[in-house]
Amino acid sequence: GIVGRISPRTWAAMEIFLASFATEDYNAMASALSEMGATGNDIDVDSFAKDLQKIFSSLQELDTEIIVAAARSSDATAVSANVVVDERQMNALFLDLVRVSESYGLKFPREFALLMKQLLYFDRYTRLLAPSMNMLRDERINITSNKQTRRMN
């Protein structure tokens, strides 16, 4: 399994990052990334937030096509699905991502990678068990610590 320690500062920033991701609050997202040490020093958080918003908007606007194929044999049926993305849009998005990464000195702390890896595992199982659930927006899931909840109230 994955084992590691997360500093209180990184944990608090990660909570804010996840909440901002769910609510599309790009200013909070930029501040959280800066707070956890994922950016260079002395960045313009407002400009960073605008660039993040542009990247996430580009992601949502990608032209995608889902191709489903089924193959049957006498005792089983196999179904496969592929997502096809417009290469020009994907290239433009990738170039924007590289530009933003270089402009703000993006580098994620090791703790961030640990948390994201666990979230991806959890997301995979959630998609299998509850395909229509959005775990970051579901009211039944609380991603904030008691300290963060008290600070918000």
Is residue 133 within 8 A of residue 126, CB to CB? The reply is yes
pLDDT of residue 152 exceeding 50: no
Supply 47's token pair: 């400009």
Instruction: Provide the 3-class DSSP secondary structure of residue 122.
Output: helix
Tell me the whole-structure pTM to 2 decimals. Answer: 0.64
Strand-strand pairing, 64-72 and 77-85: antiparallel
Closest CA to 116 of 133, 100, 98, 136: 136
| pLDDT for the residue numbered 21 | 83
Residue 38: half-sphere exposure toward Cβ, Cα within 13 Å: 24
Residue 153 pLDDT: 46
Q: Report whether pLDDT(42) > 80.
A: yes
pLDDT in tens, 73-89: 888 888 888 778 788 88
When the pLDDT of each residue in the chain is averaged and rounded to a whole number, the result is 81
Place of tokens 């993305």: 85
Condensed to tens digits (0 to 9), the pLDDT of residues 98-142 reads: 889 889 998 877 777 777 777 777 777 777 788 787 766 677 766
Element (H, E) at 92: helix 87-104
